[in-house]
């Protein structure tokens, strides 16, 4: 059981071992899917105006930024089209089997987390863990929910109730109108069926995506979790200044410890990131490690 109040902050690199793309790869996927008004995605989602997706694609592709989130915050006229494009390109990666065959060189940190949460079913909610994710995908929720069901043999409703005891905040929303795994949510499945079913799935997923300039309530919740934490660990995070600024704490006793992955960072970037974390998290110590998510969790005993 996790007994120290701990918050994991997840970036795209956290779900990358399970098949999901990082920011630059998502940009490439969007570019390919909407490369003309006549592509399948443009025709499926564009209705009477499929060219709007091509116009979005062209502007994003030539924007000089890898992140679709950052682009849509600047070009709000593309917001609805952009959300549909994100959903259309990410849903195909919702393969349950990929959660149990992670990339060999990245390590299976989902399994490690599930093992550390492994209390009795009645005590599962006593784990002192919270998760803040900047990702849209619901892979971690699906993994933990599926683990609870298979390990304890409990009902769907009982597992939904237990998993809710571990707060998971999607800062930018998630791929579904109803949060996963609540009753009525979109199933964790890739796109399939006829065009009508595919369109409905994309629309539902797109409605769950919420950028911060639209709604900031989840940001307040994230800050509350961080303020109560004794230990914070960033996994697969790019440390974009805007995202750190949004998480910034205003008051602290300086006692919390902060860890983070810095895979493929240069030395100067590591030092810069360390300073940004000190300023944002108001912490006593920052430890950054050029290792994969699983190695960092194990090496520094993040989860006990």
Segment 257-270 shows an average pLDDT of 97
pTM: predicted TM-score of the whole model, two decimal places: 0.96
Q: In this model, does residue 11 exceed pLDDT 90?
A: yes
Give percent above pLDDT 90 in the chain: 88
Residue 64: both structure tokens together? 């000089």
pLDDT of res. 105: 76
The lowest-confidence range among 12-16, 46-50, 151-155 is: 46-50
Give residue-wise pLDDT tens across range 48-88: 899 999 999 999 999 999 999 999 989 999 999 999 999 99
CATH for the 1-19+98-174+209-304 domain, from 4.10.1110, 3.90.1690, 3.40.50, 3.90.25: 3.40.50
Q: For 171-228, how does the pLDDT look when each residue is reduced to its tens digit (9 = 90+)?
A: 999 999 999 999 999 999 999 999 999 999 999 999 999 976 666 557 889 999 999 9
Burial of 281 (0-12, 13-18, 19+ CB in 10 A): buried
With contact defined as beta carbons under 8 Å apart, do 8 and 129 qualify?
yes
Residues 6+ apart with CB under 8 A from 143: 99, 110, 114
Is residue 125 scored above 80 in pLDDT? yes
Domain ranges of the chain: 1-19+98-174+209-304, 23-92
| Residue with the two structure tokens 């069901």 | 149
21-37 pLDDT per residue, tens: 999 999 999 999 999 99
Section 131-148 average pLDDT? 97
User: Among 116-130, 132-146, 201-215, where is mean pLDDT lowest?
Assistant: 201-215
SS (H, E, C) 132-184: EECCCCCHHHHHHHHHHHHHHCCCHHHHHHHHCCCCEEECCECCCCCCCCCCC
Residue 177, exposed/middle/buried by CB under 10 A (0-12, 13-18, 19+)?
A: middle
Work out the mean pLDDT of the chain and round it to a whole number: 94
């Amino acid at each position: 059981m996790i007994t120290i109040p701990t918050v994991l902050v997840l970036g795209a690199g956290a779900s990358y071992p399970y098949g999901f793309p990082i920011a630059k790869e998502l940009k490439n996927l969007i570019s390919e899917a909407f490369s003309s008004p006549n592509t399948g995605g443009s025709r499926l989602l564009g209705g009477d105006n499929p060219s709007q997706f091509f116009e979005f694609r062209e502007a994003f592709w030539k924007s000089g930024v890898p992140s679709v989130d950052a682009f849509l915050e600047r070009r709000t006229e593309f917001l609805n089209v952009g959300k549909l494009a994100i959903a259309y390109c990410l849903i195909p990666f919702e393969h349950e089997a990929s959660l149990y065959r992670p990339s060999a060189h990245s390590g299976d940190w989902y399994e490690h987390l599930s093992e550390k949460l492994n209390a009795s079913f009645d005590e599962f909610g006593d784990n002192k863990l919270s998760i803040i994710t900047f990702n849209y995908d619901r892979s971690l929720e699906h993994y933990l929910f599926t683990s609870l069901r298979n390990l304890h043999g409990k009902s769907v409703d009982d597992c939904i109730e237990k998993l809710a005891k571990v707060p998971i905040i999607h800062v930018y929303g998630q791929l579904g109108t109803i949060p996963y795994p609540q009753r009525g949510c979109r199933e964790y499945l890739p796109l399939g069926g006829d065009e009508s079913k595919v369109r409905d799935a994309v629309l539902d997923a797109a409605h769950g995506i919420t950028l911060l300039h639209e709604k900031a309530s989840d940001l307040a919740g994230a800050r509350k979790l961080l303020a109560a934490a004794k230990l914070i660990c960033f996994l697969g995070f790019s440390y974009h200044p805007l995202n750190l600024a949004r998480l910034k704490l205003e008051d602290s006793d300086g006692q919390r410890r902060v860890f983070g992955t810095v895979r493929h960072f240069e030395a100067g970037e590591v030092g810069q990131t360390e300073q940004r974390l000190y300023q944002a998290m108001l912490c006593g110590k920052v430890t950054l490690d050029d290792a994969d998510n699983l190695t960092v969790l194990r090496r520094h005993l993040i989860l006990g």
